[in-house]
């Protein structure tokens, strides 16, 4: 008698072409074949007619798609949707996404998690210097688009060294005090209980003398991307240490609860 074929986890995916290329790489697909079956969702057919799926992984936007996914969640509660549209919407705004981090108190878990001092500018760029003065924010400032929608523009970050250049920025945006971090970032991937930390090269520290010397606004290089890996770099020991595991585990648990994401 033939052995029964191993039952696989069926993952339906609806991704942009860019995300499909970055996720479904040959090495990943070879690993996934051991227990996962990836199935492309046909966007020309009703989602309820497809499947059955165990998980739906999506990276599309737009009101119509969100309504389709939400209706599917209501009629198929047994299917895990990564992630629910309402949870994603919360993360599309840099102000609201960081508020959940501000509210955390992890002092009992071998470290702390915080957000640099910041403010939101929604209109007249000419008012930015006065608003910054009133807020007491210290230069240099990191300028980030308020909305994160996956577009190239939403990832355009700038470093502003002086107030005279601030009106050149385009609201709506978030202005955040730049925090020296040794030119390295820890990028943390969390799925369920699994946690993976990788280090990425970032901007070098800024001295007070350098901040005065480098007047103007400068675009960030694309920090934290895979191409900027710092795993083999000669890092400053004071910044090279990874965050404590207990802190990461508690952070993952708290954010999962607050953001309703996986």
Residue-wise pLDDT for 157-166, tens only, equals 899 999 999 9
Looking at residue 1, its pLDDT comes to 37
Q: How many other CB atoms are found less than 10 A from the CB of residue 257?
A: 10
Looking at residue 79, its pLDDT comes to 95
Q: Which residues contact 50 (CB under 8 A, 6 or more apart)?
A: 12, 39, 41, 42
Residue-wise pLDDT for 43-93, tens only, equals 999 999 998 999 999 988 888 999 999 999 999 999 999 888 888 887 888
Looking at residue 3, its pLDDT comes to 44
- The whole-number average pLDDT for the span 136-155 is 86
Residue-wise pLDDT for 173-219, tens only, equals 999 999 988 888 888 888 778 888 888 888 888 876 555 556 788 88
Closest to 115 in 3D by CA, of 133, 96, 136: 96
Per-chain mean pLDDT for the chain: 83
Percent of the chain beyond pLDDT 90?
Answer: 36
- The whole-number average pLDDT for the span 140-149 is 89
Question: What SS3 state is found at 130?
Answer: helix
Record the tokens describing residue 41, joined without a space. 């969702």
Looking at residue 231, its pLDDT comes to 56
Specify whether the CB–CB gap between 130 and 166 falls below 8 A.
Answer: no
Specify whether the CB–CB gap between 120 and 179 falls below 8 A.
Answer: no
CA 18 to chain centre: 16
């Amino acid at each position: 008698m033939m052995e029964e074929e191993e039952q696989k986890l069926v993952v339906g995916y609806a991704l942009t072409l860019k995300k499909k290329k970055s996720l479904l790489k040959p090495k990943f697909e070879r690993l996934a074949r051991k227990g996962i079956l990836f199935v492309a969702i046909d966007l020309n057919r009703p989602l309820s007619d497809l499947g059955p799926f165990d998980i739906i992984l999506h990276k599309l936007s737009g009101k119509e798609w969100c309504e389709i996914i939400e209706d599917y969640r209501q009629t198929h509660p047994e299917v895990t949707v990564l992630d629910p549209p309402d949870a994603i919407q919360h993360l599309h705004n840099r102000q609201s996404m960081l508020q959940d981090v501000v509210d955390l108190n992890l002092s009992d878990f071998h470290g702390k998690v915080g957000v640099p001092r910041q403010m939101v500018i929604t209109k007249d760029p000419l008012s930015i210097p006065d608003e910054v003065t009133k807020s007491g924010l210290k230069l240099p400032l990191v300028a980030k688009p308020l909305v994160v929608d996956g577009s190239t523009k939403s990832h355009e970050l700038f470093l502003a060294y002086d107030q005279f250049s601030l009106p050149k920025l385009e609201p709506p945006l978030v202005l955040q005090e730049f925090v020296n971090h040794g030119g390295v970032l820890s990028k943390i991937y969390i799925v369920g209980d699994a946690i993976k930390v990788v280090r990425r090269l970032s901007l070098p520290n800024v001295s007070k003398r350098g901040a005065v010397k480098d007047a103007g606004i400068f675009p960030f290089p694309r920090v934290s991307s895979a191409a900027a890996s710092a795993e083999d770099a000669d890092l400053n020991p004071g910044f090279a240490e990874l965050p404590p595991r207990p802190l990461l585990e508690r952070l993952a648990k708290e954010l999962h609860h607050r953001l309703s994401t996986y």
